[in-house]
Amino acid sequence: MSARISQKPLWAVLATALGLSFACTSSSQTKEESESGAVDQSAIPGSFKARKVDSHPDERHLTNLRMLSDGADNAEAYFAFGGDKLIFQSNRAPYECDQIYTMNLDGSDLRMVSSGKGRTTCSYFLPDDRRFLYASTHEGGDDCPPPPDHSLGYTWPLYSSYDLYVGDGEKLVALTDTEGYDAEATISPLGDRIVFTSMRDGDLDLYTMNIDGSDVVRLTDRLGYDGGAFFSPDGSKIVWRAHYPEEKSEIDDYKNLLAQGLIRPNLLELYVADADGSNVRQITNLKAASFGPFFHPSGEKIIFSTNYPNRGREFDLYMIDLDGSNLERITYTEGFDGFPMFSPDGKMLVFGSNRYNSSPRDTNIFLADWVD
């Protein structure tokens, strides 16, 4: 058995717990700049040469499908503002848990841009395409944080050592330093605001702030989990995943787990609101684990991943109108398809999938031309 500790990212833990076959460091870092972001590029395995693969015959929206990685878990790949690069997280060797990487759209020029310390998640390019936003636990220690105790059933860990950082591969600047979980951050296409999830006020709520970390504004205040938010193409709206317990037993369970830094995310629905948090409306009622929502280039639809209708092994991409109508299935392969993102020009879709993997437990990055 390998000595490498397998610590799956949140999305992979979700899939494993639901029965899927495959698997969201100490330093003196403060809000001052630090050299702890420097990366030894010699330790990174060589780039993967992208290869063209066939899409499923029923996947009419996807053409010219390319596989951009092969091996380990690779996911949450998001486009640069210029549309010519991707940033993503991977638990590939030699690191024990997820680190952040960038690459070209053909899989070349692979670079690790996080520090190699702690666990990282949810990366995103800044508008200049030279710097990167991501969450990291490295202030809590160099090692991967411990996995959750599953004696309480299937749960996600909410590591209190997660904070948000901006780096360029050489230096890191901390954007948050509050007590508790700060993660799941993305940036408006306008380049002016960050939306993220935080426990700073005692619950898992959405906040926005300027890209320098100033002017923090709370958007949600309903008891329950709000996370994984993205802005619409014009920056006027946000979409996110949420679970709001209503029955007393659910509320008690939620509060008990939250006090232990855990959450039970088996049921997630999608919500849309204006970018200031007003006009909240629920757009799915699938009673399943729906997550990874992203706006269609038109701004009138949402593409997302869900294990609807069976709430079991199969996760596929679906698309739905903002009013909750016209649910359409996008992907059809067995296993996991998730974390979709359209390119800035709307011509391509990137997503994570189990298809064509060398190992059935791997998740890899795929890029397709999009056909409406």
Structure tokens at 262: 């855990």
Alpha carbon of residue 253 to chain centroid: 25
Model confidence at 235: pLDDT above 60? yes
Q: What is the pLDDT of residue 325?
A: 98
pLDDT above 90 covers a percentage of the chain that reads 78
Q: What is the pLDDT of residue 131?
A: 97
Q: What is the pLDDT of residue 46?
A: 58
**How big is the CA angle at 267 (ends 288 and 243), to the nearest 5 degrees?**
130
Question: Mean pLDDT across the stretch 202-231?
Answer: 98
Chain segment 350-360, per-residue pLDDT in tens:
999 999 988 87
Q: Residue 303: what residue type?
A: I
Q: How far apart are CA 210 and CA 139, in angstroms?
A: 23
H helix or E strand, kind and range, residue 254: helix 248-259
Q: How far apart are CA 112 and CA 129, in angstroms?
A: 15
Is residue 31 very low, low, confident or very high in pLDDT (cuts 50, 70, 90)?
very low
Model confidence at 28: pLDDT above 90? no
Which residues contact residue 287 at a Cβ distance below 8 angstroms, ignoring those fewer than 6 apart?
A: 267, 308, 311
Nearest alpha-carbon partner for 224 in 199, 204, 202, 248: 204
Model confidence at 10: pLDDT above 50? no
Contact between 25 and 141 under an 8 Å Cβ cutoff? The reply is yes
For residue 268, the tally of other CB atoms under 10 A from its CB is: 25
pLDDT above 70 covers a percentage of the chain that reads 87
User: What pTM, to 2 d.p., does this model score?
Assistant: 0.90
Q: How far apart are CA 286 and CA 269, in angstroms?
A: 7
Q: What is the pLDDT of residue 96?
A: 86
Cα separations in angstroms, 273 against 47, 213, 300, 358: 39, 22, 13, 40
Q: What is the mean pLDDT of the chain?
A: 89
Model confidence at 5: pLDDT above 50? no
Each domain of the chain, given as residue ranges in start order, spans 10-370
Contact between 135 and 163 under an 8 Å Cβ cutoff? The reply is yes
Question: Tell me: domain 10-370, CATH 3.30.365.10, correct?
Answer: no
Of 145-154, 228-237, 275-284, 311-320, the range with the lowest mean pLDDT is 145-154
Contact between 365 and 77 under an 8 Å Cβ cutoff? The reply is yes
Model confidence at 138: pLDDT above 70? yes
Q: What is the pLDDT of residue 47?
A: 64
Q: What is the pLDDT of residue 87?
A: 98
Is residue 23 very low, low, confident or very high in pLDDT (cuts 50, 70, 90)?
very low
Chain segment 326-367, per-residue pLDDT in tens:
999 999 999 999 999 999 999 999 999 999 988 878 999 999
* Sheet containing strand 85-90, strands side by side: 74-79, 85-90, 99-104, 111-112
Q: What is the pLDDT of residue 361?
A: 81
Q: How far apart are CA 269 and CA 123, in angstroms?
A: 23
Q: In terms of pLDDT, which residue wins out, 23 or 291?
A: 291
